[in-house]
Amino acid sequence: MKMDKVARCVIADPAGWTTVSTETAYASPYVRVDEVTVRTPSQPDRDLSWTVVRRKSAVAVAAMTEDGKLVMVEQERVAARRALTEFPAGQIDDVENRFEADVILGTLQAELREEVGYEIAPDAQIISLGYYFTSQGFTDEHIYLFFVSKVVPLSTGNAPDASESILGTRLIDPAMLKQMVASNEVSDSLTLALYARLTARSILL
Amino acid sequence: MKMDKVARCVIADPAGWTTVSTETAYASPYVRVDEVTVRTPSQPDRDLSWTVVRRKSAVAVAAMTEDGKLVMVEQERVAARRALTEFPAGQIDDVENRFEADVILGTLQAELREEVGYEIAPDAQIISLGYYFTSQGFTDEHIYLFFVSKVVPLSTGNAPDASESILGTRLIDPAMLKQMVASNEVSDSLTLALYARLTARSILL
């Protein structure tokens, strides 16, 4: 198994940002709402206040079967109040070691197994496609993006988390994915972000 | 001014979803955290509980100058703790009328004026590119996407909101945008989502 340029996906806290104060207004196991005041590189003498919703970072993966199909998952999403067809994704639960390549890769492997019932082939190439912020206006949540060139189905199928509502695995031809992106059938940020990176890097056409 | 298929961008609440209970755990002018219990179309007899962060919907726009450049905005984002180069975007503040085409269009026009200092040319085509959910695992936030074929600079320049930290307007060639998407320089969901829709629909190559 080869992991290409994982370091590239690790984000660092940029220079020139300082925190004046942070007050946590709400916290649960899933999200934390912080009222923060910061100073930024462009305005080091002015306080800027903002409400930031903190959430674990996550991993999303476009994985290809031996016959060139992309493995996607259809699931009912409570927050969006609809079923969406997405690439597999999951949060990095080992928060302390969230910047470690093997922790990120472990999350990727676990999501492929649990959500869609596939595993990475021994001769697969794993390509890091960077990361993105899901909604920079209000949350620090960011998702690392990967492409896996070859996955194979598990004989045991998938093993979805009982707290979620996963409807099934879908194998999608790249030409069909393009149509789904164009027509709004794909309408979530992680699948659109992966599609953007894959096409801009000519991994998908 | 022509607005193509705006109805397509309006999302409806799908059939088969029922709310068992909603408890608001936190609320501010910016976000509301609801603990919800729902029943879904696939499991109408089972309660599914989830924490949903509610936020206003928004509009994002890829607008092109007469000489074929895309108008982008560079701004310091407190939640992401860095400066990002993005397409202009803004929330739909008239929540009551948020599904009305003229309210959506008005938000689009206001963001072009305020964030980057451009206005829509009288003979421009405005193409609706649907919508997307920014992070379907935890928020109902969704952003309507548009392409505007022709914008012209305002003589007065931009007029950014004092509560934000906008660094400036950038005019980006489509080939450069592709490189920025590929290299992780573009790393926010709205710009990646617009790039995905624009390329899948062959509006950009």
My answer on whether A121 and A22 are in the same domain is no
DSSP per-residue string spanning chain B: -EEE-GGGG---PPTT-EEEEEEEEEE-SS-EEEEEEEEETTEEEEEEEEEEEE---EEEEEEEETTSPEEEEEEEETTTTEEEEE--EEE---GGGTT-HHHHHHHHHHHIIIII-EEE-TT-EEEEEEEEES-TTTB--EEEEEEEEEEEE-TT-----TTS-EEEEEEE-HHHHHHHHHTTSS-BHHHHHHHHHHHHTTS--
- Asked whether residue A205 is assigned to any structural domain, the reply reads no
Asked whether the beta carbons of residue B79 and residue A26 sit closer than 8 angstroms, the reply is no
For residue B9, what pLDDT is reported?
45
B172 neighbourhood in chain A, CB within 8 Å: none
Residue with the two structure tokens 């393009």? A178
High-pLDDT (> 70) share of chain B, %: 94
Question: Using one digit for the tens of pLDDT, what is the confidence trace for A150-204?
Answer: 999 999 999 888 888 999 999 999 999 999 999 999 999 999 999 999 999 999 9
pLDDT higher than 60, residue A16 = yes
Closest Cα in chain A, distance from residue B159 (Å): 17
- Asked whether residue A44 is assigned to any structural domain, the reply reads yes
Asked whether the beta carbons of residue B187 and residue A131 sit closer than 8 angstroms, the reply is yes
Pull the structure tokens for residue A204.
């998908």
Contacts of A129 (CB under 8 A, 6+ apart): A9, A145, A146, A147, A194, A197, A198, A201
The Cα–Cα gap between B3 and B1 comes to 7
- Is the four-CA dihedral A125, B184, B111, B146 of positive or negative sign? negative
Closest Cα in chain A, distance from residue B67 (Å): 22
Question: Using one digit for the tens of pLDDT, what is the confidence trace for A59-88?
Answer: 999 999 999 999 999 999 999 999 999 999
My answer on whether A158 and A133 are in the same domain is yes
My answer on whether B48 and B60 are in the same domain is no
pLDDT higher than 80, residue B6 = no
Contacts of B201 (CB under 8 A, 6+ apart): A182, B129
For residue B41, what pLDDT is reported?
95
Q: Compare CB distances from B132 to A8, A52, A192 and report the shortest one's residue.
A: A192
pLDDT higher than 50, residue A127 = yes
Of A48-57, B9-18, B83-92, B126-135, the one with minimum mean pLDDT is B9-18
Q: Residue A66 is inside which H or E element, if any?
A: none
- ipTM, interface predicted TM-score of the complex: 0.94
- Asked whether residue B26 is assigned to any structural domain, the reply reads yes
A128 neighbourhood in chain B, CB within 8 Å: none
High-pLDDT (> 90) share of chain B, %: 83
Question: Using one digit for the tens of pLDDT, what is the confidence trace for B26-82?
Answer: 999 999 999 999 999 999 999 999 999 999 999 999 999 999 999 999 999 999 999
For residue B160, what pLDDT is reported?
87
pLDDT higher than 80, residue A4 = no
My answer on whether A66 and A43 are in the same domain is no
DSSP 3-state of A57? coil
How does the average pLDDT of chain A come out, rounded? 92
My answer on whether B39 and B107 are in the same domain is no
My answer on whether B33 and B122 are in the same domain is no
Asked whether the beta carbons of residue A136 and residue B197 sit closer than 8 angstroms, the reply is no
**Is-above-0.80 flag for pTM?**
yes
Closest Cα in chain A, distance from residue B90 (Å): 9
Which chain A residue's Cα is nearest to B166? Answer: A42
Asked whether the beta carbons of residue A25 and residue B26 sit closer than 8 angstroms, the reply is yes
Asked whether the beta carbons of residue A76 and residue B40 sit closer than 8 angstroms, the reply is yes
pLDDT band at A1 (very low <50, low <70, confident <90, very high): very low
B80 neighbourhood in chain A, CB within 8 Å: 133, 136, 140, 142
Strand residues in chain A grouped as ranges (E): 2-4, 18-27, 32-40, 43-54, 58-65, 70-77, 82-86, 89-91, 118-120, 125-133, 142-153, 165-172
My answer on whether B88 and B183 are in the same domain is yes
pLDDT band at B11 (very low <50, low <70, confident <90, very high): low
How does the average pLDDT of chain B come out, rounded? 92
φ/ψ of residue B101, rounded to 5: -60, -40
Name the residue range of residue A138's domain.
2-9+56-200
For residue A205, what pLDDT is reported?
86
B130 neighbourhood in chain A, CB within 8 Å: 183-184, 187
pLDDT band at B14 (very low <50, low <70, confident <90, very high): confident
B38 neighbourhood in chain A, CB within 8 Å: 78, 81
A172 neighbourhood in chain B, CB within 8 Å: none
For residue B187, what pLDDT is reported?
97
Going by C-alpha positions, the residue among B159, B181, B182, B204 that lies closest to residue B64 is B204
Contact B59, B89 (CB under 8 A): yes
pLDDT higher than 90, residue A58 = yes
How many A×B Cβ pairs under 8 Å?
A: 211
- Asked whether residue A47 is assigned to any structural domain, the reply reads yes
For residue A192, what pLDDT is reported?
98
B187 neighbourhood in chain A, CB within 8 Å: 130-133, 142
Asked whether the beta carbons of residue B81 and residue A201 sit closer than 8 angstroms, the reply is no
Task: Please classify residue B192 by burial: count the beta carbons closer than 10 Å to its beta carbon, then call 0-12 exposed, 13-18 middle and 19+ buried.
Answer: buried
Closest Cα in chain A, distance from residue B92 (Å): 13
My answer on whether A74 and A88 are in the same domain is yes
Q: Compare CB distances from B33 to A26, A142, A184 and report the shortest one's residue.
A: A26
The Cα–Cα gap between A166 and A164 comes to 6
CATH number of domain containing A138: 3.90.79.10
For residue B7, what pLDDT is reported?
38
- Asked whether residue B205 is assigned to any structural domain, the reply reads no
My answer on whether A179 and A84 are in the same domain is yes
My answer on whether A69 and A163 are in the same domain is yes
For residue B5, what pLDDT is reported?
47
Instruction: Over range B131-148, report the average pLDDT.
Output: 97
pLDDT band at A15 (very low <50, low <70, confident <90, very high): confident
Angle between helices B189-200 and B174-182 (to 10 degrees): 120
DSSP 3-state of A98? coil
Contact A56, A144 (CB under 8 A): no
Q: Which amino acid, A26?
A: Y
Best of B13, B37, B184 to substitute, by most chain A Cβ atoms within 10 angstroms, is B184
My answer on whether B136 and B193 are in the same domain is yes
My answer on whether B44 and B78 are in the same domain is no
Best of A21, A42, A47, A81 to substitute, by most chain B Cβ atoms within 10 angstroms, is A81
pLDDT band at B98 (very low <50, low <70, confident <90, very high): confident
Number of domains in chain B: 2
Q: Compare CB distances from A81 to B17, B132, B189 and report the shortest one's residue.
A: B17
Closest Cα in chain A, distance from residue B132 (Å): 4
Contact A36, A25 (CB under 8 A): no
pLDDT higher than 90, residue B101 = no
